[in-house]
Structure 1
Amino acid sequence: MRSEIWHWIVRLSLTQKLITVFVILITVPIVTISMISYSSYSKSIEKNTALYVNQISQKILERVDQYVSDIKRVTGSQIYMQDIQESLANRNKTVEENNRLQNFVKGLNSLKNDTESVYIFDNYGNMYDSTKNDTIRADIRQQAVDLRQQVRNAQGSSIVISTQKITVGHTDKYYFSIARELKNTNSLEGIGMIIFDSRIQVIGDAVRELDEVTKGRTMVLDDQNTVIYDSEQKWISTNVASNELVQKAVGAQGSFKVTIEGKSYLTSYTTSAVTGWKQIVFIPVDHLTEETRVTRDFTMILVLLSITVALVTSAIIAIALTRPLRTLMRTMKQVNKENLDVQIPVKYSDEFGILAKHFNNMIRRINELVEEVYQTQNRKREAELRSLQHQINPHFIYNTLEVIRMTAEVKRDYEISEMTYNLGELLRYGILRGTDQVTIHKELDHLEKYLALQNFRFSKDIQLELNISEAHLSYPVIKLLFQPIVENAILHGFEMKEENCLITISSHMDKQAIYFTVRDNGCGMDDSQLKIIRNAMQGLRQENRNNIGIANVNERIILQYGASYGLQVSSEIEVGTTVTIVLPVLEAWKESA
């Protein structure tokens, strides 16, 4: 199979080979990048959605926690007023005491809008109630009997009773309850019990907005994995501890994918630290991928268009590139037939034009000279080429760059013009100028040009913010002081960062030294990476040579000014890296400044 492919490739013409190569070089990166981008985009949406839902779920649980905590606080504070306790503990209550207790219960029920009913039971079978629908549920006395031992075991703490369906009048409603044993504050003996019935809608109101956004379903489970709330009201009051979905929701919060009845869901869960309740949100993956499907379709159309354009463009370019070669081939066939009077029209100044020109010269020389003369001429041309190579110098490079810049200006290609200008200025700054010291002003001007080139190179928008005192701009420093530090920030600090890249350079001075601080907001370094840089600055041999530029700047400062000066490096992960350049306060500069 491999041999057949190779023979097929060999049989192709140069034009066909070029078209094939161009199509592969254009199509493969486009398809690969498109697939990776689509996959990354989809994963990013799922990740951000899960994070958003977790944050919203946490706020919802905090609202529910606050509601439950408020009820618990009510049951644990106001009920211990002295007159209420005395009335509740009295077996033979007067009419006034009964009224006092009844009014007290009504007052408790009015504290929270979502509280449906409040019931207080004494130890003698008496019940005091307040309901907002004026109907007492039929099973309340039996529930009080069932809860009596449970609240006693709680030793004065409130307990939360999972959601239950309660028939009020002729209507079935869902409530969850909070109960507490009431104790005498002096003897700590139980004198009764209080039960708050709260509408499950207190949770429903909190999650409704979330369900509208996610187009999904929300369930709230208590610490025993019994469903307190279900936005579809299918599993309320059902214990789902053995359910596979619940068993996957391990830990305080997280997310995972699951398939329910053939439909894929992104499941996000959050656990309350107060009640131990767990909120589980099921988000249809179809809803998440609506936007990505549009992106996918657009990407596919773009890829197909790109491939079509690549095919057409490749064919045009390949034919244009090989046309001079085909002309040369036809001419050589004439020469092969001993026709030495042929000439190739020279229409191009590129390699094909040069080739045609040399071919024509060769034909003429064959007619004029013997083989020895031809070889002599070849050696002469080689000597001329070496001579030209020896003439290349920095001035030639700079002048050539200026020609390129002006050509780009004429063709209105201002990006190339600016890049060429900046490169020329960098060469002039680093090569042509003889002095080793420059002012801070010139060093910063050089740095701005260097950063402009790096932005072109990496297709980034790295911002440079200068907070340099006007007086410090004339300070003389060694050449290329800032560039290696900024280069290190670009290559390492901003390697994984695409936007909001900022480098800040500031200055200040005290009696001992003048300080120039270069700070970036990149990814930062951990202690081990900092140690590598500091070891390199101390001259210790390191395997990693990435930080040789910083070490070189530090060494040049020490050689110029002494061991008391140099670089100080600090960094923090996800915050950035700070390099402080410590230089002496030069008396000559200080007097002139």
Structure 2
Amino acid sequence: MMKLGKWMASSLRTKLIAMFVLLTILPLIGVGVISYQKSYTTVSEHSIASTQVTTDQLQRDIDILFQDTKKFLEIGKNNSVLHFLLTQSETYEDAKDILKMFQVYRETYKFSDSIINISIVNMYGKGISEKKGVFQAESIMMKNPHFLSLLNNPDETLIIPPVSSSIYDRLDQTEVKGHQLISLAAVIEQRVTHEVIGFIMIDLDASVVESFLNHTKIGETGYLYVTDDKGHPIFLPQHVTDPKMYATIPVMQQQKGSFIDRSTSPERFIVFSTSQLTGWKIIGDAPLKEVMRDANEIKYLILISVGFSILCTIALYYFITSQVIRPIQYLKHKMRQAASGNLEAKVKNNRSEDEISDLGSSFNSMLEQIRMLLAHSIREQEEIKKAELRTLQAQINPHFLYNTLDSIVWMAEAKKSEQVIDLVKALSHFFRITLSKGKDWIMLKDEIEHVRNYLTIQKMRYSDILDFELYIDEAIFTYRILKLTLQPIVENALYHGIKNKRRKGLITITGGFSPEGHILLEVIDNGIGMTPEQVLHLRSILEQDVQADSGFGIKNVHKRIRLYYGEPYGVAIESEYGHGTQITITIPKEGIEDEKSVSGR
């Protein structure tokens, strides 16, 4: 989580991406999901309802068929029919009237063409039908289970599923060839006593129901079929031979409904309705994906629309970032170059007048101002450095002059005129080099001669305690050095080393090259030396810009060298109490060819 927070805080583009996702993509996805769910649910419900309507319509068509067919049962109430059934003798006129009545009913009702045969029979087997005319049935007729059922329930109308022949034909042993039949049967009662005196039977061609099934589809490959109230198939479409039976408790007990069968692959959608007249179940069976095709198309359309919108939004985002983020990144890159010291890292103007272009122009102006201020600051620092160098020299020269004049005064008081003359001559040569026509840098050869004059002057004063030796590699004579570099160190060795020893002392000066190629000058005395604490204190004075009660000359020399040359050049101290001190001066090699650069500093 912390890494994610750092990543988001590291870049403006990252923040814009986060805002883009939160403010654009997520709402777009949310709208898409809500639209998908709402549309999918609505279309799914519509598809299911449409399938249920198709099933219900087939159920109503079957019921209308039987309702119209049942109107033919009213023939049994006609006087000619009653007289025909109650009279055992020949009733030619009644039979003729009955056959004409059959024809009238056929011409009146819609589905009469679907009726194959109409038959009437009394309790003794005397009957009449369209196919056979007047006939005599066998006595076994009364044992037919359908007639027995009607005798027990005279108010009912039996609708018997397709068989190879009608009820009457089965009793009469006469077949109706080439037809699957649906038989409707009802009792005929005597008007006054309501005694059952016979039966009327109507045979329907089952193909009319089959045509309903064949012309009704669910989806592309779905179909409808009809079962009895026990779930046994009665009618199947032509292309279906082995349908899966759904004689389940919900289907058998409920009047209508639907469910999804997930036990098959692919999943199937089952819808059912119940005929009010027959009790038969009209069952629809179709692949679920076909029923939900419109819903799935809506789903894919929404997904494609949301995806396309997201792509368009991303393209718009990249267009915006190319116009906003890239110039900012370019400006950021130039700022980093400027921060690393490249003050020439200007921003190119793209000729636009927006805020980013104005920011780039302000950045260029800032760099120009920085360059001007930096150049001015460099000039000021150079002047300050020159002033500091002259101030340090001014501090060194009077220090030595006061000591030398004290020596001359002392010798004059002692009437040592020749020594005074020699001392004044040495002092004259000393100051001739010290002044050096105002130059701050002199040849190393002159600096060594300057120290030699200084030691000669001091030896005249301290002849009983001072001696000195010089071991200088003449190869360093042609290089330059800040004047008055050695003299303060030698003076310090005399006053703080040799004099405190109270006996004869020796100052040794060496000069040469270090292994790194620098110039090394060493001032070694065998004076009193310093304790470790004093050495540490003196080193801290050299490294820190603080006032010091002692080591003023060494501090000034070290500061002058650092001001001009910088690190790692300067003064190093080694000392051991009771044995002496060694001061090492390290400077770079600057020869005659560097005179122009030296004088310019």
TM-score normalised by the chain length of structure 2: 0.48
TM-score normalised by the chain length of structure 1: 0.49
- Tell which structure's C-alpha radius of gyration is larger: 2
